[in-house]
Amino acid sequence: MAKTMTLEFEYAAAEATVLGLLKDPAFRESVCEAQHATSHTVAVEGDVVEIRYTQPVRGLPAFATKFVGDSVEIHQREVWSGQRATFELSLPGKPGDITGTRTLSTQGSGSREVFSVIAKVSVPLVGGKLEDLILQIFKKGAEREHRTALAELGG
């Protein structure tokens, strides 16, 4: 079983400007810092963005701590084709991953970004609860990235 989620964000900047920011290694480094990553590497080569980071996790329910521990390593890969990217976030050594798309489009004088996300955890009995949890963690990370982008774009 898998769980899905859709997130939408708006920017006052044109989609080409936002796309340029999302492919900027310095911006992606800033996002890792905003997410309190204890370590991170960012590589951007053409339309491929790869980010590896370790992030502390606190305040998880007891059932989740058993699977996650006190920190999680995340490998994020995005492949852009025009204004759309497919992405995967894998958690090495953990029983789950996130896949999906992120799409930029024009909205008025600015742009809109839509994430379509699928979380899958292969653990009997608690997999659904863990999927809900990692979707919420993903949502917080995407919101932090959006706030960082707004600050970078000047509003």
Helices 127-153 and 15-22 pack at an angle, to 10 degrees, of 110
What pLDDT sits at residue 155?
Answer: 64
Number of folded domains in the chain?
Answer: 1
Closest CA to 9 of 143, 137, 154, 101: 143
What pLDDT sits at residue 59?
Answer: 76
Could you tell me the CATH number of the domain that includes residue 99? 3.30.530.20
Domain assignment of residue 49, given as a range: 2-153
Q: Tell me the pLDDT band of 50, cut-offs 50, 70 and 90.
A: very high
Closest CA to 119 of 139, 108, 135: 135
Q: Alpha-carbon distance 149 to 31, whole Å?
A: 8
Check if the beta carbon of residue 68 is closer than 8 Å to that of residue 131. Answer: no
pLDDT tens profile 91-138:
898 888 999 999 999 999 999 999 999 999 987 777 788 888 889 889
pLDDT tens profile 62-74:
777 777 777 888 9
Check if the beta carbon of residue 55 is closer than 8 Å to that of residue 38. Answer: yes
Model's pTM, two decimal places?
Answer: 0.90
